[in-house]
Structure 1
Amino acid sequence: MSLKGKTVFITGASRGIGREIALRAACDGANIVIAAKSTEAHPKLGGSIYTVAKEVEAAGGQALALQLDVRDQEAVALAMKQAFDHFGSIDILINNAGAIKLSGVEALDPKRFDLMYQINTRAVLVCSQAALPYLKQSKNPHILNLSPPLNLDPKWFTSYAPYTITKYGMSMLTIGMNQEFANYGISVNSLWPRTIIATAAVEFSAGKALFPRSRKPSIMADAAYQILISENRALTGRLIIDEQILKERGETNLDQYRYENSDEELMVDLFVEE
């Protein structure tokens, strides 16, 4: 089971979890489309589509760096065509791009909600729709959304309902597209971390104080890999937690994913029960 020769289109792949998934697939010799807005490294977050492209090639994959704003429907359609024309296929779409603002309704600028909705929810629809003609031609097509399990406990809505709505919208699209695209043989799943992941975005918003209680992005990359090598819709329609799929596939050493050796208890991520 390998991703060698498969074309993986990843949104928001210039850093963080998207970058890590790109590098994991590259180790198999996959073709990686790094689709993100950053053409230059962010002063605080680092990374760009071009730096990741170099890393992908160094890891053994083929890379195509495309600047893309997933809010732009026409640009998304053009990027998909460019990817297909360049590599001859699109086998996997990973909707990883995201926006977050943990604010309640009273304090949230509606423009910020628009941004979260457009990048989190609407972009999943737009990107999946644009990729569909190419995924239909693949022998083992996948769509993977980086979105959480659906948990209607009021605690996930009390302080930041707008963000919750946009992330749950992604997961509901997973459920819907799994049914709608079944006749095309497309596997559609969601993936979410059980714990906080140590990324530059987390460091930017909260500092490194959370890192001793976090896991490395590689756990999400390894979990995504296990989903993407599944065949014939054997794994589809699920809202998956990273460590859950790894345990199902026989991985018992989850300590390897801790960001650092620490006795501190791992911090559980949003939307996941203790």
Structure 2
Amino acid sequence: MPSLKNKVIIITGASRGIGRSMALRFAQEGATIVIAAKSDKPHPKLPGTIHTVAKEVEDAGGEAIPVALDVRKELQIKKLCDQIGEKFGRIDAVINNAGAISLTTVENTSPKRYDLMQQINSRAVYCFGHYALPYLKQSDNPHILSLSPPVNLSPKWVKDFSPYTLSKCGMSILSKGMAEEFKEYGVAVNTLWPQTYIATAAIEFAVGDKDTLNYARKPEIMADAAHVILTHPSRNYTGLWLIDEEVLKAAKVSDFSQYAYNPEYEDKIQKDLFLD
């Protein structure tokens, strides 16, 4: 399988959770990881900052570039893309992992929370597509990968938290459109979503509680799936709404027990949102 050695990869929300796991997975092959997140200083409740992950990336064998970034600020995104693109002459991949979640109805979602989800989720995908494109064009295998689901407009998914659903489906619709638009440049644009709950702060605090993590898989499954995607030839692997388990099965992975957060609950792992 092709390597990510020396590839320049921007990962948003990389100070913890899935973003951190992806950073460490790619670092094992000697990739250069731009760790872009708001967590410049320690969070009172959550572990990890861009600086702690930078050290982990370097210890794993990669090059780390920690950058304090708020994906709501398009000029910060432009500055980041320009700095990285000009320094390396290209950007090889952008992973839109940063996310905001509130599983609340229209009635119970404040305008401020609504705007936050649209900005951090779907709008950031647009901003990175817009500002990273000139540098992605210079890569020999460029990819944009966003963590969002296959679009599912079943009443089950739009009734109780449509503001969040809109923001995540917006990411997927934008990705489908960019895949067609950027095809002539050889830039792959895909989305990736977990088959199951993933043991992250979002699951613990927004979906359930600490006990909910027992019904989840570890973030490493998403990192391994992302690795498979980024090592595919970009010209013939684009415009796809992908599921982590399906990606890994296609790559001949058959043992998923290794990803269980709590092995004792392996047969009780919960299917993720938006998947019927």
TM superposition outliers: structure 1 runs of 4+ over 3 Å: 85-88
| 1:146-178 C-alpha deviation (Å, 9 max, x unpaired) | 000111111101100110001000000111000
Q: Secondary structure at the match of 1:70?
A: coil
Q: Secondary structure at the match of 2:118?
A: helix
Alignment pair present for 1:71 and 2:72: yes
User: Could you tell me how far apart the structure 2 residues matched to 1:63 and 1:232 are?
Assistant: 24
TM-score (norm 2): 0.96
Q: Secondary structure at the match of 2:79?
A: helix
Cα distance, 1:201–1:192 mapped onto 2, change above 3 Å = same
In the TM superposition, residue 15 of structure 1 has moved relative to its aligned partner by: 0.7
1:248 maps to 250
User: Could you tell me how far apart the structure 2 residues matched to 1:87 and 1:53 are?
Assistant: 18
1:267 maps to 270
Within 5 A, what are the aligned runs for 1:7-156?
7-156=8-157
Match of 2:225 among 220, 223, 226: 223
User: Could you tell me how far apart the structure 2 residues matched to 1:160 and 1:207 are?
Assistant: 18
In the TM superposition, residue 45 of structure 1 has moved relative to its aligned partner by: 1.3
Structure 1: which amino acid aligns with 2:128?
C
In the TM superposition, residue 201 of structure 1 has moved relative to its aligned partner by: 3.5
Aligned length: 273
Q: Secondary structure at the match of 2:263?
A: coil
User: Could you tell me how far apart the structure 2 residues matched to 1:204 and 1:162 are?
Assistant: 18
In the TM superposition, residue 87 of structure 1 has moved relative to its aligned partner by: 3.4
In the TM superposition, residue 42 of structure 1 has moved relative to its aligned partner by: 1.2
| Bigger Cα displacement from structure 2, 135-144 vs 233-242 | 233-242
TM-score (norm 1): 0.97
Structure 2: which amino acid aligns with 1:14?
S
Q: CA RMSD in A?
A: 1.1
Q: Secondary structure at the match of 1:216?
A: coil
Q: Secondary structure at the match of 1:262?
A: helix
1:158 maps to 159
| 1:197-242 C-alpha deviation (Å, 9 max, x unpaired) | 0113333443321122110000000000000000142221110000
User: Could you tell me how far apart the structure 1 residues matched to 2:112 and 2:137 are?
Assistant: 36
User: Could you tell me how far apart the structure 2 residues matched to 1:43 and 1:258 are?
Assistant: 27
Where structure 2 has 5 or more consecutive residues not aligned to the other structure, the ranges are none
